[in-house]
Structure 1
Amino acid sequence: MMKRWRERLGRLDSLFLRLFLLMWVTLVLSHVVAFSVVSPVGTRWMGRLSTEGAAALPPLPSLPPGNPLAGDGGRPPGPAWRPPAPPMLGPDGERRPVGGGMPARALWLDYALRALLIGVGAAIGARWLSVPMRRLAQASTTLSQGLAEGRDPPALDDAHGTVEVRDSARAFNRMAQALKHQFDQRSLHMAAVSHDLRTPLTRLRLRLEQLPSDAARAAGADIRAMDELIDASLAVVREQATGARPALLDLGALLQSLTDDLAEQGLPVTLVGDGEAAPALHVRAHPASLRRVVDNLVDNALRYGGAARLGCRRVDGWAEVTVDDDGPGIAPEQLERVFQPWVRLPDGTGTSGNGLGLAIARDLTQREGGTLTMGNRAEGGLRVSLRLHLE
C-alpha cells in the first residue's frame, strides 16, 4: 500500500511542482519577515504571539502602503506618523484604505528585505534543481573516459528525483549501454580480422618453399612485417578491452628502439634532439598504443616524404615527439582534414593507402591524454608533433 502511494506521489513530482512550492514559500516568508521587522503593527503582534497564538496574526499585505520615491513615503502631514487604519467600505461599496503610507526609509527597508529573501530562495532553488544536471555532466565525463579505458559505463539513479530527472537518467543509462556495446563490438571485429589473417599468412609461408631463395627472402620479410602489424593491432585492442592501466615509459628509449629497428631494415629513419640521441623523458601511456601512434607517423613520413627524422624534447611540462619529412607539404586549409578517416589528398605520387593512419594516430593520442598536430616546415616538408604529459 505504501509503495503504491509512493509511486503515485512520484508521478506527481516534477520540476514545475518543486518550483511552485519553493517560490510560494519564499514569497510568504518574505512578506512575514518584512512585515514583522518594518511595520509597527507587525512588531506588536510578535509580542502577543506567545499569549494569543494564531489569533494575534494580523492580515499580511502583499506590499506596504506608500511610495518609496516620495520624500515622505506618501503619508499625510502631521507631527508623527501612525500606522494606517484597516480598510473600510467607501460610499460606492469599494474597500478604501484610511490614512497615509509608510515613511520612505521604512518602505526601502521593507523592499530590501523582501528582495534579499527572494534572492536567497532563488539561489537555494537554483542549487537544488541543478544537482541532477551536475550529476549528468559528471557521468558524461566519466562515460567518455571509461569507454576509452574499457571500463563499464556509469549508471545514474533512475528511481529518485522528479519525473524529468528520472526520465533523463533512464535515457542516459540506455545510451551508455548502447555505446559500450558498440565499442565492444568494434574492438571484437578488429580483433577477429587480425586473428583471421593468421591463416592465409601461414599458407603463404608454406608456399615460399617453392620460390627461388631471393624471392622467398623478400616475401618472408613482407610476411614478418604483416605479422608484426597484426600483433600490434591485437595488443592495442587488448589494452583497451581489458582496461589495462598506463605504464611509466621512457619515451627516448622507445623512440631509439623503434629507430634502430627501422634503420636495420634499410629505411631512412633517424633520431635527433637537442644534442642528445634519446633524451630521458618519462610519460605514462599504454605501450602498444604509443608504439602504434609513432609507427603510423613514421610510415606516413616515409610514404609521402621519402624520409623520417624523429625528435624528442621537453616543452612546458610536455614531452614532444616530432616527425619531420621532406615531402611537398600540405595546403594550410587541409592540415586538419587529413586527420579525418578515409581522407586522402591527391599528391600525384600514386602511393596507396586508405586515409586511416593519421586518424588512428590522433584517436589513440587523445585516449592517452595527448595532442597530435601537423604543420608545414619553413624549409619544406611536414612536421607532425605529438605531445604527452610528462611525469
Structure 2
Amino acid sequence: MLPRTLRGQIIALIVVALAIAQALTLWLFVDQRALAVRSALAIEAADRAGSTARLLEDAPPDLRSEILQAASSSLVRFAIGPTPLVTGETGNAPNWIERRIRAVLATDDPRAVRVDLHTDQPRPPPRAGPGAGQMHGMGQMRAPPGQPPVSTTALDLSIALADGSWLNVTSRFRDPPYQWVWSEALPFALTAGLLAIVLWFALARLTGPLRSLAGAADRLGRGEDVEPIAAAGPEEMRRLALSFNDMQARLDRFVRERTQLLGALGHDLRSPLTALRVRAEMVEEEETRERMIATIEEMREMVEATLAFSRGMATNEPVETVSLAGLIGGLAREFDETGLAVTTGEIDDAELRIRPLSMRRALRNLIENAVRYGGRAAVSARKQGGSVVIRIDDEGPGIEARELERVFEPFVRLETSRSRETGGVGLGLSIARAAVIAHGGGITLENRPEGGLRVTVTLPGERTA
C-alpha cells in the first residue's frame, strides 16, 4: 500500500520506478551476457573444428582415432562418418561461423562446410556411421536432479574431408546461470536510499505550504479568523496561496456586508414601528387599538428576530476551546432553573473549538424548540471519529418528511403544531443552522421511529495535530 502522505507517495513511486528500471537493466544485462557466452563457445568450437580437420588430413589414418579422442571434451565431440551430421547445404546458423572455420582451414579451400545452430532440450548425440569415432559424453548436459530439463544451445558442424568422409562435430552448452550477489543490490539500495533522503527534504517545499493551506482551510471552515497565508514554495503553490487569500477576503467581505445590511435594516425599522406604536395607543376605539398594537408587536418581534439572525451570522466573536460536557451541562442547568423539562443523556469527554456565545444561542434555540413543540427535550453528545455529534430528541408529533429541510429557511412556519400560535416568527432554526455551519458543522432533522423529532448537530472536534 502507498503511504498516506503526498511526500511519502511521491518518494515511493520514484523508488518503485527506479527498481523497475534497475530490473529491466539487469534483464538486458543477463541477456547480453548469455549472448556473449554463446558467441565465445561457438568461436571456440569453430576454431577447434577447423584445426582438427586440418590435423586429420595431415596425420596417418591410424592416428585419427587418437586425434578425435584428444580433440573431444565433455562439451564438444568429434566423429568421422560417411554422411554429414548437418544435412542442409548451409544449415541454420550465422554466416560468420562458417567464415571462421574456412579462415582456419584456408582462404581458398573449396570443401563443403555445413553449420547448424539451434536451441534444443538435452538429447543424446547422433550415432556416427560405421568407422566413425564414438561421440560419447554429451549425455552429461542434463539439468540437476529434481529440476526440470534445461534448454541448451546446440552447434552441429559437418566438414568434408579429402577422402570423402565427413568430420561431424557436436557441441552442447547451456546459458550460464545467473548468480545473484548482494554486491549488485548494494548500489541500488544506496542509490534508492540517498534519493529518498534528498526527495524527503526537497519535497518539504511542496508539502509544507500544502499543510499550511490545509490547516487554514480547516480553520476557515470552522469559522475561525485566519491570517493570510504566506506565498511560499513553487510557483503553483504561490498562486494557490494567493488565490486562497483572495477567496477568504471575498468571503469575509460578503458576510460582513450582508450582516451589516440586515442589521441596518432592522435598526431602521425600529423607529417607524415605535412611532406607529405611539399612534396606535392614541386610537380611542379599543378593539381597533388592540389589533393595531398586536400587529405592530408582531412586526417588532420579526425585526428583533432579524437582528438576532444577523448577529448569529456575525463572526467577530473570538474562538475558544470549551469542554463539551461543560457546554451541555451549563445549558441544562439554565433550563432546569427556568423549570423546562430538559434531561441530559450520555455526554462524552471532548473539547470543541467554537464561539461559545454563538453556539450556546444555537443550541438554546434547538432545545427550546424541542420543549415548545415536543413537551420535553433529551440531550446527548458522543464522539464519532474526529467529530462531535449532539442529539436533541423530543416527544412531539414530528414533521412531515417533505418539510424536514424547508423548516430551516428563514420565516418558514408550519401550519400544524408548529404554527404561529405556539410562538416564534420562524427564525429559530435558521439562526441555529447559520451558527452551526459557521463552525464547519452540519445540522439535520429526522423523525424518530418511536415518535418525536430528533435534531442532530455535527461539529468538528478539536484537532490535536
Q: Please report the TM-score for the alignment, with normalisation by the length of structure 1.
A: 0.53
The 1:210–1:225 alpha-carbon spacing in structure 2 relative to 1, beyond 3 Å, is: same
Contact conserved, 1:147 with 1:183, CA < 8 A, in 2? Answer: no
Could you give the per-residue CA deviations for residues 82-111 of structure 1, whole angstroms, max 9, x where no partner exists? xxxxxxxxx9xxxxxxxxx99944677436
- Name which of 241, 249, 260 aligns with 2:316: 241
- For the 8 Å contact 1:139–1:156, the answer to whether it is kept is no
Q: Are the equivalent residues in 1 in contact too, given 2:321–2:351 (CA < 8 A)? A: no
Q: 1:251 to 1:66 in 2, by over 3 A?
A: closer
Q: Which of 360, 373, 380 pairs up with 2:451?
A: 380
Give the whole-Å Cα distance in 1 for the aligned partners of 2:461 and 2:438: 16
Q: Pick from 242, 245, 265: which aligns with 1:193? A: 265
| Residue in 2 that maps onto 1:232 | 308
1:138 correspondence with 2:212: yes
Q: Distance in 2 between matches of 1:126 and 1:314?
A: 42
Give the residue type in structure 1 aligned to 2:328.
Answer: L
Equivalent residue number for residue 88 of structure 2: none
The whole-number CA distance in structure 2 between the counterparts of 1:74 and 1:260 is: 96
1:114 to 188, 191, 208: 188
What do the CA deviations read for 1:14-54 (whole angstroms, capped 9, x no partner)?
A: xxxxx9xxx9xx99xx99xxxxxxxxxxxxxxxxxxxxxxx
Unmatched 5+ stretches in structure 1 = 1-18, 32-61, 79-90, 92-100, 264-268, 276-280
- CA distance 1:221–1:284, shift in 2 (3 Å): farther
Partners of 1:282 and 1:125 in 2: CA distance:
37
Higher helix share: 1
Deviations, residues 144-200 of structure 1 (Å, cap 9, x unaligned)? 524754624422325xx4333333333333333223322322332233233333223
Q: What one-letter code is carried by the residue in structure 2 that aligns with 1:309?
A: R
Give the corresponding residue for 1:278.
none
Residues 156, 173 of structure 1: 8 Å contact kept: no
Cα RMSD (Å) of the superposition?
5.5
Q: How far off its partner does 1:63 sit?
A: 5.9
- Residue 381 of structure 1 and its aligned partner are, at CA, apart by 2.8
Unaligned runs of 5+ in 2: 1-9, 42-95, 97-174
- State the AA in 1 paired with 2:396: D
- Shift in CA distance, 368/260, structure 1 to aligned 2, threshold 3 Å: farther
Give 1:347 shift. Answer: 7.4
Closer, same or farther in 2 for the Cα pair 1:69/1:250, shift >3 Å? same
Gap change, CA 1:365 and 1:171, over 3 Å in 2: closer
- Partners of 1:64 and 1:274 lie apart in 2 by 67
Whole-Å Cα distance in 2 between the matches of residues 195 and 120 of structure 1?
A: 68
Letter in 2 for 1:170: L
SS of 1:329's equivalent in the other structure is coil
Corresponding letter in the other structure for 2:253:
H
The answer as to whether partners of 1:293 and 1:365 remain within 8 angstroms in 2 is yes
Contact 1:369/1:389 (8 A) holds in 2: yes
Give the residue type in structure 2 aligned to 1:326.
Answer: G
- In 1, the alpha carbon distance for the partners of 2:321 and 2:270 equals 28
Asked whether the 8 Å contact 2:223–2:439 carries over to 1, the reply is no
- 1:167 equivalent among 239, 244, 249: 239
Distance 1:365 1:338 in 2: 17
CA distance in 2, matches of 1:254, 1:350: 23
8 Å Cα contact 2:393-2:454 kept in structure 1? yes
8 Å Cα contact 1:340-1:359 kept in structure 2: yes
The match for 2:357 is 288
Q: How many angstroms does 1:243 deviate by?
A: 3.3
1:251 has 2:328 as partner: yes
Distance 1:196 1:70, change over 3 A: same
Counterpart in 2 of 1:42? none
Letter in 1 for 2:378: G
168 and 217 in structure 1: CA distance in 2 versus 1, 3 angstrom threshold: closer
SS in 1 for 2:225: coil
Three-state SS of the structure 2 residue aligned to 1:171 is helix
Q: 1:107 to 1:200 in 2, by over 3 A?
A: farther
CA contact (8 A) 1:252 1:312 kept: no
Change (3 A) 1:73 1:375: farther
Deviates more, 1:378-387 or 1:215-224: 215-224
State the 1:387 CA deviation.
Answer: 6.0
**Change in CA separation of 1:215 and 1:270 when aligned onto 2, cut-off 3 Å:** farther
Q: Relative to structure 1, is the Cα distance of residues 387 and 363 closer, same or farther in structure 2, using a 3 angstrom cutoff?
A: same
Identity of aligned residues (%): 25
Relative distance call for 1:360 and 1:206 in structure 2 (3 A) is same
Structure 1 range deviating more: 64-73 or 314-323? 64-73
**In the superposition, relative to structure 1, how do residues 224 and 180 fare at CA in structure 2: closer, same or farther (>3 Å)?**
closer
Q: Equivalent residue for 2:343?
A: 272
The two structures have a TM-score, normalised by structure 2, of 0.47
Query: Which letter maps to 1:236?
Result: G
> What is the number of residues matched between the two proteins?
299
Q: Deviations over 1:297-322 (max 9, x none)?
A: 3575588xx43422234545968451
- Rg larger in structure: 2
